[in-house]
Chain A
Amino acid sequence: MNDKQHLNFNRNSLTISTLHNTNNMKTTQVADNQQINWKPTHTYNTTQIIDNVIWFGLNYNYDFIDQCWSDDLSLANHLKDKFSTCTEGLHKMSNVNSRIGYGVFTRFLTMLDSGNRERLYNYILTIKKQ
């Protein structure tokens, strides 16, 4: 990838790019040659974006997968299966049969590829805005 190429994961909000940041977009350095440029399509600042995602994970709506992937039923079902394994895994780590969901959402996030993670982030920011 040369310095003019960039990988645009999302037309609205997230660009992972090697381009120099020549405009006023907020930039976060993530690697020597990678930057995340947040194109603001909403009024959230970086802290609010991160907070929204984290707090959603601590208090998610039960049908968020159905809502987020409403256009792809088979993918939604696949992801619900994945989510179930996150819950099961958490119970296996505990010596009591707890239903506490702390960390379940984060485990789920780590199972998603970048495209689906971004889709989920956009969904979260959209519903938080409502």
Chain B
Amino acid sequence: MTVKRIKEGIYKVEDSQGTWIATGGFATMNGKWVAHECNTYEECTTLNSWAVQFDTFKQLKQYAKSF
């Protein structure tokens, strides 16, 4: 899994199953961490959301590995 910081609270992640955008902290209204299956932050929508939110980026990455 490679993680590239786009800007504060927004990361582009590549793993064995594809590319996804992680957002959280200051980048989300409630500070929770969410993921979208897309290549850019601008492409993030409800339709490509993982639908689940976590307290930390670390938890989100662990969830990503569970598939």
Contacts and interface: CB of A to CB of B under 8 A. Distances in A.
State whether these chains interact. Answer: yes
A25 interface: no
A57 B17 contact: no
Contacts of B34: 59
Nearest to A84: B66
Interface residues of B, number: 20
Interface of chain B, main secondary structure:
mixed
A104 interface: yes
Interface of A: 57-62, 91, 96-102, 104-105
29 contacts: A57-B51, A58-B46, A58-B49, A59-B34, A59-B49, A59-B51, A59-B53, A60-B51, A60-B52, A61-B32, A61-B52, A61-B54, A62-B52, A62-B53, A62-B63, A97-B18, A97-B67, A98-B37, A99-B64, A99-B67, A100-B37, A100-B48, A100-B49, A100-B50, A101-B49, A101-B51, A102-B49, A102-B51, A104-B51
